[in-house]
Structure 1
């Protein structure tokens, strides 16, 4: 699950003035921002001092700031008490990320580190170690996969952070502050603003592994230049990619092996959906994200997004990569119309949606 809640009205698309042509502040001027949280609409909350770069600025002074730890702050103009140019912040270390996170989290958390990850856990060190092994396995496989497709990725600028809660109750208590009531219905998520993953251990091993890999794939995609945070990334792309990588392999001691295996859960969703699938199904999935956001249609949308991603990467890989690379150039908070989304796909794949649909459905009938 990908979450980007709490984007205030001050940064609505209609009011935006994009200050930099770069993505997430690359080559933008470094600044120091001093601001306070809003509490019941009043600027009376905690004081923050953030060194970072403005990603997007609204005409009224509201700003989206990427901090030195990769967190993106959304700051309304009346929250800012001081702002001045500053030197570019140095690359943040795992030591500093760990220090900040342990200071921010309630008591009882400890840190476990790997080469690329800092995992904050509630004393469940053995599970944190298991999760860390999955993260690092995915990291290697993710970069190897895209290298084999001749796609150049950036090494993540920031240490990758995951918060692993003790159980469901602790997860809901912690996650509700970021994703609200949705916390009661999920077992993990990657948060676009904090740039962190959050999850907990569940009894279902297959779903547990799938969730860990799924959310870690979101995090990698948004930290290596494959996708741009707060840009108009269609949900079918983000979720389809994460499901393409997530498929567990319970015959493997680690529970996961490699990339692009048939995702049996989503293959069943796809087959179930086929019997009632309307002729404009791809159009509605591509044009907007409403099917993913409705409980009545989400399962079908997830199944179809996995199926289309699997089809595209198996049969039209270069066209799909061309499409991903076009998407990666969209700036933060720049919004595409439904027609623009469709035209981008038709241009990248070199055919109409109707032609693409026929090819897609024909291929997926053979997948077992």
Structure 2
């Protein structure tokens, strides 16, 4: 799941500003100058740069830790230009800042490419770090093999690991709202953080993962633990490596489909996950059941609208359909799929044009229509049943 909309009344998604200074200027000034302001709840002012203009005309700015903040037009204190440059903070500093915001009980663990801020045991945090590092290597290698150039993240990649479900819901409710009760984890496009929790807290994890990893993977929640962590970290990589721009109206089916393409767990492997490109048996099963029971939204609705993913009655089917569609396009129309992904990577934040994301462009790109696609996906899904 991706949290990507600014919401009124939500202090993490939309900062309520303690305005330091009001200056009425043209929007172009935002793009050229550094801006200092202090959101409510922050101890010190933040140094930011212009990022985008949202649907209501407010500016979204980006602070040096990578977070995005909404700031009413004209608010903020412009810093003297001179030789001032926007310089992202380092991983150690951002990790400490996240730890401080979360409060007592959290610690920090560093890997080569990630900072894990954890409330769980240190060994479980290291276990999570192992998965995201393997995903990172696999992700870059995969897209390189597709001749899709990715960039290195400009900001540190942070994963927050809560000790249990209760802590996750309590601390994330402010950002996600009541919807937190229906999710297992999420990536926030606003904070740039991945949020997950230990789904098997009753299993002691104070020693080396080699002593308990197998027990976790055999647990009823083992598959979901691995899939959720890799899925949300894949969303984070997409938004930091240039495959998707944060707050861009990217199609949900493609965003979720790519994340599920990478998340596919393999519990027969000693580490529970061994890469990408395999059939996601759970998603295939979900699709076949939904298709049998007549619960699948129309394919053109899945392509054109994100509504099916937020509707509790259709979400399970829509997610399975997005995996199947992504897998089908990769397997049967790879060149067109890669080209389509690269086209959509150019979608700008809050871009209200619909042409590139339209149903007609999709069908033209893949030489399909609604009827032929429905039949092709039906036959393809049957070919995957073993």
Q: TM-score range by the shorter chain?
A: 0.7 to 0.9
Q: 2:237 matched to 1:234?
A: no
Residue 32 of structure 1 is matched in structure 2 by 35
Equivalent residue in structure 2 for 1:83, among 74, 78, 81: 78
Residue 93 (1) aligns with residue 99 (2): no
Q: Whose strand proportion is higher, 1 or 2?
A: 1
Is residue 145 of structure 2 the alignment partner of residue 148 of structure 1? yes
- Count of paired positions: 349
In 2: Cα distance, 1:30 partner to 1:335 partner = 25
CA drift at 1:59: 9.9
Distance in 2 between the 1:150 and 1:314 partners?
Answer: 16
Select 2:379's aligned residue among 343, 362, 367: 362
Give distance in 2, aligned partners of 1:59 and 1:297. 27
| Aligned-residue offset at 1:57 | 3.1
TM-score by length of 2: 0.83
CA RMSD, Structure 1 to Structure 2 (Å): 2.7
The answer as to whether partners of 1:286 and 1:338 remain within 8 angstroms in 2 is: no
SS for the counterpart of 1:161 is strand
Kept after mapping to 1: 8 A contact 2:257/2:326: yes
Q: Are 1:312 and 2:329 counterparts?
A: yes
- Which deviates the most, 161-170 or 63-72? 63-72
Instruction: Tell me the TM-score normalized by structure 1.
Output: 0.87
In the alignment, structure 1 segments of 5+ residues that lack a partner are 12-16, 38-44
Could you tell me how far apart the structure 2 residues matched to 1:49 and 1:124 are?
33
1:51 positional shift = 2.1
- 1:117 aligned partner: 114
> How far apart are the structure 2 equivalents of 1:89 and 1:354?
51
Cα distance between partner residues in 1 of 2:58 and 2:376: 46
In the TM superposition, residue 158 of structure 1 has moved relative to its aligned partner by: 1.1
What's the counterpart of residue 211 of structure 2? none
Shift of 1:269: 0.9
Corresponding residue of 1:345: 362
**Contact 2:262–2:276 (Cα < 8 Å) also in 1:** yes
Q: Decide whether aligned partners of structure 1 residues 302 and 196 sit closer, same or farther in structure 2, where only a CA change above 3 A counts.
A: same
Tell me if the contact between 1:64 and 1:75 (Cα under 8 Å) persists in the aligned partners. yes
Distance 1:31 1:161, change over 3 A: same
1:182 aligned onto 2:182:
no
Q: Secondary structure at the match of 2:79?
A: strand
Contact map agreement 2:35 2:76 (CA 8 A) in 1:
no
